[in-house]
Each structure stands twice: as structure tokens, then as C-alpha cells.
Structure 1
Amino acid sequence: MEKISDKTVLKIRCYKFSVQIVKFIGALKISNTYSPLINQLLRSATSVGANVVEAKSASSKRDFIKYYEIALKSSNETKYWLCLLRDGLNIGKKIKELLTEIGEISNMIASSVIKLKEKEEKNHS
């Protein structure tokens, strides 16, 4: 059986996470008052995977790292919006699952950024 690369695993998890967020938001029955918050969640959550995928077309290693850094920032922002929804609207169970998944995705991206920066520093010394 062929081993799937870490990059491929990350892309798949990011995509599946985006789908989960879209479904989660679609199932919410909340007031329009919270629409800006929901829009921010949708934007940041889908940005994670979009930047990971976009990194594939980067013009340099440094550019690749920048896309991953943006993905990491978006994943941290996503955690913020999920926590705000969890605590403000008292809808914890599904959000707990989403927070766990985005936490694991964040760790994968952060690990990649660290490794890539270490490689880049070695190449420039």
C-alpha cells in the first residue's frame, strides 16, 4: 500500500474541515444578528485549505512558507470564532469536534512552517 505524503494528508484534512464548517453553518438556526460572526468563521475556515493548496503554486520556497504562515494565521482565527460561538451561543458538542480538528491541522501546518524555515536557514548559511 502506498504511503500518502504529509502534504496530501494536510490538504485532504483541510478540505474535509471546510466541508464540515459549511455543513455546520448551514445547520445553524440562529438570528441574523450573528451573521457577521458566521461570515468571519466561514472566511477564515475555508482560507486555511485555500492557502495550503495555493502554496503548491508558489514561485519560491519563501513564497511557499508565506502561504503556510497565512494558513496558520487563518486556523488560529478560526479557533477564535469557534470559541466565540461555543461560549456565546452555548452550542458546544459539534464545535468541540471542530476545534479539535482545526487544532490538529494548525499543529501540522506549524510543524511544516518550522521545518521549512529550518531548511531555508541551512541553505542560506
Structure 2
Amino acid sequence: MKKTNVILEKSVAFALLIIEYCEILEMNRKYVIANQLLKSGTSIGAQIHEAQNAESRADFIHKLKIAAKELEETKYWITLCDRSNQYENPEKLKAPLNELGLILYKILSTSYKS
């Protein structure tokens, strides 16, 4: 029986939420933010998935650090949407993003110690 990789599952689930939210933004003609958020929000999972086939521990850490940077950029775009009256409420993105961040930062912290 194959063990579920929680961060992989959560990163895919979050990317799907981002895609859905960005489609709403695009319907409302908020193309610039939609494009930026789509790129950073889906890149988190792409980097996490890439890290699964890292060539070394250093490469693994490097890819996860890029994922962490993308996560922080995504938080920024979500904050802008949240604080603007012109954008759809991104409330359903906040908890999954924070949870993904907690897992990601814990893996990074553990990877440095090993």
C-alpha cells in the first residue's frame, strides 16, 4: 500500500483552488493580478513536486526554498485581493495556503538538521 505524501496532495489541492479563484478574477477582468497569482500559486506545487526527484539533499532544499518564496509571493497577491474592494474575496485560499506553509517550513527545518 502506497503511503500518501501529504505535501504533494495539499499542493495539488491548493493549485486547483488558485486556478478556480483566478478564473473568477479573469471573468471580472482582473487579468494582471490573476496572472501573477496563477503563476506563483501553482508554482508552489510544481517546485514541491520537482523536489521529490532532487539530485541531492542540497538540490531538495533548494527546490523547497523556491517553493517557499513562491508561497510568500502568493500570500502577497492574496493580501492585495483581500484588502481591495475591487476583488473577489480570497478567504477560502488563506487556510490552505497557511497549512501548506507550515508543512513546507517544517520540512525545510528538518532538512537542514539532517
Work out the percentage of aligned pairs sharing the same amino acid: 29
Q: Unmatched 5+ residue regions in structure 2?
A: none
Does 2:6 match 1:9? yes
Residue of 31, 37, 54 corresponding to 1:35: 31
Q: Is the 8 A contact 2:18 2:38 kept in 1?
A: yes
Aligned partners of 1:4 and 1:97: how far apart in 2? Answer: 27
Q: Deviations over 1:30-68 (max 9, x none)?
A: 23xx31211110000000000000001111001001111
Q: Unmatched 5+ residue regions in structure 1?
A: 120-125
* Cross-structure match for 1:62: 58
TM-score (norm 1): 0.82
* Cross-structure match for 1:110: 105
Report the structure, 1 or 2, having the larger helix content. 1
* Segments of 4+ moved more than 2 angstroms: 2-5, 89-92
Q: Is the 8 A contact 2:24 2:88 kept in 1?
A: no
* Cross-structure match for 1:24: 21
SS in 2 for 1:57: coil
* CA-atom RMSD in angstroms: 1.6
Aligned partners of 2:14 and 2:87: how far apart in 1? Answer: 21
* Cross-structure match for 2:47: 51
Q: Deviations over 1:43-94 (max 9, x none)?
A: 00000000000001111001001111111111111111011012122533xx
* Cross-structure match for 2:83: 87
The size of the alignment, in residue pairs, is 112
Does 2:68 match 1:72? yes
